[in-house]
């Protein structure tokens, strides 16, 4: 679940139809929890993932595919002889190179504070926070994650503590919950396209346009369209669930994706790179912040916020119940939500500021002014827990797989 929401370290192409050897034993359908694609096999041939409670499958999934977290240290800038050096510990899913400007700016206001930054995947972050808390020890002073649902789950299960900084008042009502979880960004899910390819073609500006394009079944884009693998990407699943809420023809769209040889990836950057270089021509439902950062240096990449509706996610920050230094965590949260911090999020981090106090480019206010009610932010709150129920999740994934198979 899920710079990047990074559930799986290595992206992999998944093009329909699957490998013929597999098809000889099983017809196309849904994968098991380990990402292996099986359906309509004999009972003996099936590999089924059976667990007695909701979240154990997530932990095994992580163990099978994740890489170790990386740790980065930022020494304190300066301190007087009588000043004690404090160390802020951060667990975060934001890539270190993207987070670096924010960390350095924070340190410029707190010379006596060192920072240890753990660049960590969403599932490991969730598991580690729980494990360290339940073992009676301490955990990070603050955690940042793109896995909105897992952050809400931590708070709902008592692993977060409240924070009452004045900056929280600058957030939209949908972007915080119970004074425990706080959205810090405003990031749309976008369609990306290769500009040279579409130079003499109409660019789809809505899902209706996209379906009309796919219905032509042109060989020009067969196998050259990509989106998230909803079974391996937490963010991909989150966006899929929102599409189901907002778009009555979503399964028709996915049937068309299957007909056109869609490729599925667990990481957005893999798709962005391939669309930019022309290997692919279009990517659907990708995280706009990564696309914007790439397009700033590569003019071959085009970005569309769909006109019918655009889902908007927000990275979630919370202070763990077992934080070693919750006041220090609170100071970093305060900085991120301040005008100074939000300017960095809108600027070098390319993630769009969520604060209602910050106007100008790359802000929620500017996007609202341009796109109006077509923007559909994901509300921060218990509604995000719905698809963490294993049965509901698997029903949705079965429907998704069936649509990709043309059913």
- Residue 38 pLDDT greater than 80, yes or no: no
Distance CA 237, CA 25 (A): 28
Which of these, 149, 143, 354, lies nearest to 238 by C-alpha position?
149
Max mean pLDDT among 11-20, 40-49, 101-110, 226-235 falls in 101-110
Residue pair 45/38 in contact (Cβ under 8 Å)? The answer is yes
Average pLDDT, rounded, for the chain:
84
Band the pLDDT of 48: cuts 50, 70, 90.
very low
pLDDT in tens, 49-69: 333 334 434 443 444 444 567
- Residue 11 pLDDT greater than 80, yes or no: no
- Residue 15 pLDDT greater than 80, yes or no: no
Backbone angles phi, psi at 40, to 5 degrees: 50, 35
What domains, with CATH codes, occur in the chain? 70-182+315-350+378-387 (3.40.190.10), 187-312 (3.40.190.10)
- Residue 296 pLDDT greater than 60, yes or no: yes
> In this predicted structure, what is the pLDDT of residue 13?
44
The H-or-E segment that residue 232 falls in is none
Average pLDDT rounded to a whole number, residues 347-367: 93
Q: Count CB atoms within 10 A of the CB of residue 44.
A: 5
Which of these, 11, 2, 5, 1, lies nearest to 290 by C-alpha position?
5
pLDDT in tens, 237-280: 999 999 999 999 999 999 999 999 999 998 888 999 999 999 99
Average pLDDT rounded to a whole number, residues 198-219: 95
SS (H, E, C) 5-69: CCCCCCCCCCECCCCHHHHHHCCCCCECCCCCECCCCCHHHCCCCCCCCCCHHHHHHHHHHCCCC
Least confident of 122-126, 159-163, 367-371, 393-397: 122-126
Q: Integer distance in angstroms from the first to the last C-alpha of the chain?
A: 26
Band the pLDDT of 371: cuts 50, 70, 90.
very high
Strand 187-194 versus strand 301-304 pairing type: antiparallel
Percent of the chain exceeding pLDDT 70 equals 82
- Residue 102 pLDDT greater than 90, yes or no: yes
Residue-wise DSSP of 256-307: HHHHTT-EEES-HHHHHHHHHHTS-SEEEEEEHHHHHHHHTT-TTEEEE--S
> In this predicted structure, what is the pLDDT of residue 56?
37
- Residue 160 pLDDT greater than 70, yes or no: yes
Residue pair 20/34 in contact (Cβ under 8 Å)? The answer is no
Q: What is the DSSP letter of 173?
A: G
């Amino acid at each position: 679940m899920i710079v990047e929401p990074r559930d799986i370290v290595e992206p992999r192409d998944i093009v329909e139809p699957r490998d013929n050897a597999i098809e000889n034993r099983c017809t196309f359908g849904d994968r098991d929890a380990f990402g292996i694609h099986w359906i309509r096999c004999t009972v003996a041939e099936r590999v089924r993932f059976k667990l007695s409670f909701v979240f154990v499958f997530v932990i095994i999934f992580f163990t099978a595919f994740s890489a170790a977290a990386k740790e980065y240290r930022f020494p304190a800038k300066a301190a007087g002889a009588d000043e004690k050096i404090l160390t802020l510990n951060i667990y975060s899913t934001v890539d270190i190179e993207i987070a670096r400007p924010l960390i350095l700016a924070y340190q410029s206001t707190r010379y006596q504070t060192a920072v240890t930054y753990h660049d960590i995947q969403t599932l490991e972050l969730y598991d580690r926070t729980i494990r360290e808390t339940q073992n009676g020890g301490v955990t990070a002073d603050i955690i940042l994650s793109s896995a909105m649902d897992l952050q809400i789950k931590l708070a709902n299960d008592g692993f977060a503590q409240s924070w009452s900084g004045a900056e929280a008042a600058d957030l939209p009502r949908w972007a915080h919950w119970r004074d425990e979880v706080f959205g810090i960004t405003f990031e749309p899910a976008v369609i990306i396209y290769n500009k040279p390819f579409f130079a003499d073609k109409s660019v789809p500006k809505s899902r209706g346009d996209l379906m009309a394009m796919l219905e032509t079944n042109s060989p020009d884009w067969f196998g050259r369209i990509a989106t998230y693998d909803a079974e391996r990407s937490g963010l991909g699943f989150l966006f899929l669930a929102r599409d189901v809420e907002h778009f009555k023809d979503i399964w028709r769209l996915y049937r068309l994706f299957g007909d056109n040889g869609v490729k599925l990836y667990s990481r957005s950057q893999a798709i962005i790179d391939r669309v930019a270089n022309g290997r692919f021509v279009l990517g659907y439902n990708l995280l706009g912040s990564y696309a914007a950062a790439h397009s700033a240096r590569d003019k071959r990449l085009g970005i569309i916020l769909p006109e019918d509706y655009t889902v908007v996610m927000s990275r979630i920050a919370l202070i763990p119940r077992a934080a070693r230094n919750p006041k220090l965590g609170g100071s970093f949260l305060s900085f991120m939500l301040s005008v100074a911090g939000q300017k960095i999020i809108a600027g070098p981090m390319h993630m769009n500021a969520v604060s209602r106090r910050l106007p100008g480019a790359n802000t929620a206010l500017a996007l609202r002014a341009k796109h109006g009610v077509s923007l559909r932010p994901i509300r921060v709150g218990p509604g995000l827990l719905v698809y963490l129920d294993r049965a509901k999740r698997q029903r949705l994934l079965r429907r998704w797989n069936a649509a990709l198979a043309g059913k």
